């Protein structure tokens, strides 16, 4: 079998067999296929597409390209994945919520890139917190605490790391089969028996149209279920930041305040509760949605979920006092407000633009190796559909560079549209079970 023939076959629009796809992944990871041929393959797949069977074969080959976590000793274990967005801090709510209701959570997360934030970066804003756990420690913590959140190990799904770096450089990222195989190969290799997906849609998401978001969600759910994992997805709105806080430490503080009961939670809590409720139903802990929401409400009201977050933080070396005293979190040196220059209704938000603005403050990275400032960001004070009066505060900005604070103010102004009327976006657009 030759890689040249596989590339030619896909280039000409023909379906690849399981053996051909497995050969490509195995030989590429082993270093026997050069990057230029791998790049040619993914470009052919991008242009000609992969059908359901080919996508499943690619996913499983990638999942088995390295270690596969064995979590069988833990019983029923769940994982949750978001396709990325702005101010999406649901993991910091979902993990302690469902763990405090008796469902174990094994969460392997990533770092932020471009306009999207990363769970690992947010967690590292907690003093002392480590997000790099070896597999034995990862499993031991889940047994002891009920949940653990860590970065992906270098031995897990190496094919995805290698292919993603090529896709990022060859304009082949925006392909539903390639996105689905990338996400689901990591989820399958991570070992959890339940996979809950949150697929974002809107101008702040990678999939901007509802049609594309549904197609990605359906593809991933089918892959998961066909791989023996209980898999479900919701499609949630990302036409504005999910939470009010944008920036690593600020987002952690918002999540803590929601679990404390100090803030209502809004859209962020609503999506977290929906995800958590589905996970509890899929595990059999809750028999229906009503029972699941009752359990979650009790976990919030009794502060069991807050205490569980403290346990997770402490188990991973972090200062768990932050769940009672958020002043222990990193704070930026300078603050400033951006106020409205006109009155009206907030009708639209350039969510991607807000993500790029917080990146300019230093909270995000353009390349994976970039360092970031964990303390900077901003808090958005209005939501789409809210009435705005002239001089109302629209953003509280936190910066460690006065010049950046001033320049970001100008960018934020251009991210909001104020009109005479507005239609509030639908928060949860669909569910795929």
Instruction: Indicate whether 326 pLDDT > 60.
Output: yes
pLDDT band at 117 (very low <50, low <70, confident <90, very high): low
pLDDT at 331: 95
**The pair of three-digit structure tokens given for residue 238, joined into one six-digit string:** 């990302």
What mean pLDDT, rounded, does the chain reach?
A: 94
- Secondary structure class of 90 (helix, strand, coil): coil
What is 351-408 written as a DSSP string?
Answer: HHHHHHHHHHHTSS-SSTT----TT-EEEE---TT-EE-TT-EEEEEEES-HHHHHHH
Where in the sequence is the domain holding 11, given as residue range(s)? 3-49
Q: Report CA torsion sign: 400, 405, 408, 409.
A: positive
For residue 94, being part of any structural domain is answered with: yes
pLDDT at 152: 74
Is the domain of 122 the same as that of 224?
yes
pLDDT at 410: 86
pLDDT band at 168 (very low <50, low <70, confident <90, very high): confident
Considering only 13-17, 154-158, 203-207, 274-278, which range has the smallest mean pLDDT?
154-158
Residue range 395-405: mean pLDDT, rounded: 96
Is the domain of 44 the same as that of 121?
no
- Secondary structure class of 119 (helix, strand, coil): helix
Identify whether the C-beta of residue 349 lies closer than 8 Å to the C-beta of residue 395: no
Among residues 79, 88, 121, 160, the one annotated as catalytic is 160
Is the domain of 111 the same as that of 139?
yes
For residue 133, being part of any structural domain is answered with: yes
CA distances from 222 to 22, 45, 401, 419 (A): 20, 19, 47, 42
- How far is residue 376's CA from residue 412's CA, in Å, rounded to a whole number? 15
Residue range 63-71: mean pLDDT, rounded: 93
* CATH number, domain containing residue 414: 3.90.1170.30
H or E element that contains 234: strand 230-237
Is the domain of 89 the same as that of 125?
yes
pLDDT band at 206 (very low <50, low <70, confident <90, very high): confident
pLDDT at 113: 55
Q: What is the pTM of this model?
A: 0.93
For residue 159, being part of any structural domain is answered with: no
- In the residue annotation, 352 being an active-site residue is answered as no
- How far is residue 198's CA from residue 401's CA, in Å, rounded to a whole number? 35
Residue range 397-405: mean pLDDT, rounded: 95
CA distances from 151 to 187, 301, 338, 341 (A): 12, 31, 35, 43
Residue range 243-264: mean pLDDT, rounded: 96
pLDDT band at 17 (very low <50, low <70, confident <90, very high): very high
Boundary-marking domain end, from 305, 323, 341: 323
Instruction: Indicate whether 267 pLDDT > 80.
Output: yes
Instruction: Give me the residue label for tokens 């962020």.
Output: 268
Is the domain of 12 the same as that of 102?
no
113 vs 312, which has greater pLDDT? 312
Is the domain of 279 the same as that of 357?
no
**The pair of three-digit structure tokens given for residue 153, joined into one six-digit string:** 């190990």
- In the residue annotation, 14 being an active-site residue is answered as no
pLDDT at 164: 84
For residue 87, being part of any structural domain is answered with: yes
Identify whether the C-beta of residue 161 lies closer than 8 Å to the C-beta of residue 187: no
Is the domain of 137 the same as that of 19?
no
Q: Tell me, rounded to whole angstroms, the distance of Cα 297 from its chain centroid.
A: 24
Burial annotation 227-266 (CB, 10 A radius, 16+ → b, else e): bebbbbbbbbbbbbbbbbbbbbbbbbbbbbbbbbeebebe
% of residues, the chain, pLDDT over 90: 85
Residue range 133-137: mean pLDDT, rounded: 91
Among residues 10, 81, 218, 229, the one annotated as catalytic is 81
Instruction: Indicate whether 367 pLDDT > 90.
Output: no
pLDDT band at 112 (very low <50, low <70, confident <90, very high): low
164 vs 347, which has greater pLDDT? 347
H or E element that contains 187: helix 176-190
Is the domain of 302 the same as that of 366?
no
Instruction: Indicate whether 125 pLDDT > 70.
Output: yes
- In the residue annotation, 386 being an active-site residue is answered as no
Cα pseudo-dihedral 263, 264, 265, 266, rounded to 10: -140
- How far is residue 214's CA from residue 234's CA, in Å, rounded to a whole number? 9
Is the domain of 99 the same as that of 208?
yes
* CATH number, domain containing residue 226: 3.40.1030.10
Number of H helices, E strands in the chain: 16, 13
pLDDT band at 282 (very low <50, low <70, confident <90, very high): very high
For residue 184, being part of any structural domain is answered with: no
- In the residue annotation, 186 being an active-site residue is answered as yes
- How far is residue 259's CA from residue 280's CA, in Å, rounded to a whole number? 18
For residue 177, being part of any structural domain is answered with: no
Among residues 10, 111, 115, 167, the one annotated as catalytic is 167
70 by Cβ neighbours in 10 Å (0-12 / 13-18 / 19+) ranks as exposed
Is the domain of 136 the same as that of 283?
yes
% of residues, the chain, pLDDT over 70: 97
Q: Which of 67-76, 165-174, 364-373 has the highest mean pLDDT?
A: 67-76
Boundary-marking domain end, from 323, 357, 387: 323
For residue 428, being part of any structural domain is answered with: no
Q: Which residues have CB under 8 Å from 325's CB, separation 6+?
A: none
Is the domain of 248 the same as that of 394?
no
Considering only 62-76, 221-235, 360-374, which range has the smallest mean pLDDT?
360-374
Identify whether the C-beta of residue 65 lies closer than 8 Å to the C-beta of residue 26: yes
Boundary-marking domain end, from 304, 323, 342: 323
pLDDT at 165: 82
Other C-beta atoms within 10 Å of 17: how many?
14
Among residues 10, 122, 186, 218, the one annotated as catalytic is 186
Number of domains comprising the chain: 3
- In the residue annotation, 174 being an active-site residue is answered as no
Instruction: Indicate whether 369 pLDDT > 70.
Output: no
* CATH number, domain containing residue 12: 1.20.970.10
Instruction: Indicate whether 78 pLDDT > 90.
Output: yes
Is the domain of 308 the same as that of 257?
yes
Residue range 319-323: mean pLDDT, rounded: 98
Helix axis angle, 266-283 to 289-301, nearest 10°: 120
CA distances from 59 to 8, 49, 62, 106, 182 (A): 21, 14, 5, 20, 7
Identify whether the C-beta of residue 271 lies closer than 8 Å to the C-beta of residue 62: no
Residue range 372-401: mean pLDDT, rounded: 96
Residue range 117-139: mean pLDDT, rounded: 91
pLDDT at 247: 95
Instruction: Indicate whether 39 pLDDT > 80.
Output: yes
Residue range 347-369: mean pLDDT, rounded: 85
For residue 170, being part of any structural domain is answered with: no
């Amino acid at each position: 079998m030759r890689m040249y023939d596989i590339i030619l076959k896909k280039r000409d629009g023909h379906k690849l067999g399981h053996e051909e796809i497995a050969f490509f992944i195995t030989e590429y990871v082993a270093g026997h296929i050069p990057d230029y041929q791998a790049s040619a393959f993914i470009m052919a797949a991008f242009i000609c597409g992969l059908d359901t069977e080919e996508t499943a074969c690619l996913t499983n080959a990638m999942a088995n390209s390295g270690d596969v976590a064995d979590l069988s000793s833990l019983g029923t274990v769940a994982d949750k994945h978001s396709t990325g967005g702005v101010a999406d801090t649901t993991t910091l709510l979902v993990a302690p919520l469902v763990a405090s209701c008796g469902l174990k959570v094994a969460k392997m997360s990533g770092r932020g890139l471009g306009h999207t934030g990363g769970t690992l970066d947010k967690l590292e804003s907690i003093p002392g917190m480590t997000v790099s756990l070896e597999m034995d420690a990862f499993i031991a913590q889940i047994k002891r605490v009920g949940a653990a959140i860590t970065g992906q190990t270098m031995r897990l799904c190496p094919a995805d790391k290698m292919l993603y770096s090529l896709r990022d450089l060859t304009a082949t990222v925006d392909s539903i089969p390639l996105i689905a195989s990338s996400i689901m190969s990591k989820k399958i290799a991570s070992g959890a028996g339940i996979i809950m997906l949150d697929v974002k849609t809107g101008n702040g998401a990678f999939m901007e149209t509802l049609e594309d978001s549904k197609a990605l969600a359906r593809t991933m759910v089918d892959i998961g279920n066909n791989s023996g994992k209980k898999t479900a997805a919701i499609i949630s709105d990302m036409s504005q930041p999910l939470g009010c806080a944008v920036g690593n430490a600020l987002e952690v503080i918002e999540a803590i305040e929601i679990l404390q009961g100090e803030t209502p939670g809004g859209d962020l809590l609503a999506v977290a509760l929906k995800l958590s409720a589905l996970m509890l139903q899929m595990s059999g802990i809750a028999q229906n949605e009503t029972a699941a929401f009752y359990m979650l409400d009790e976990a919030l009201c009794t502060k069991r979920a807050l205490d569980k977050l403290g346990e997770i933080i402490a188990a991973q070396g972090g200062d768990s006092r932050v769940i009672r005293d958020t002043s222990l979190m990193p704070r930026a040196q300078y603050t400033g407000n951006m106020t409205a220059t006109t009155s009206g209704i907030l009708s639209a938000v350039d969510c991607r633009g807000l993500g790029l603005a917080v990146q300019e403050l230093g909270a995000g990275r353009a390349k994976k190796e970039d360092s970031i400032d964990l303390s900077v960001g901003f808090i958005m004070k209005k939501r789409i559909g809210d009435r705005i009066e002239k001089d109302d505060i629209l953003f509280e900005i936190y910066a460690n560079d006065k010049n950046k604070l001033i320049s970001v103010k100008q960018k934020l102004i251009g991210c909001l549209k104020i009109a005479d009327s507005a239609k509030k976006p639908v928060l949860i657009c669909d569910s795929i079970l």
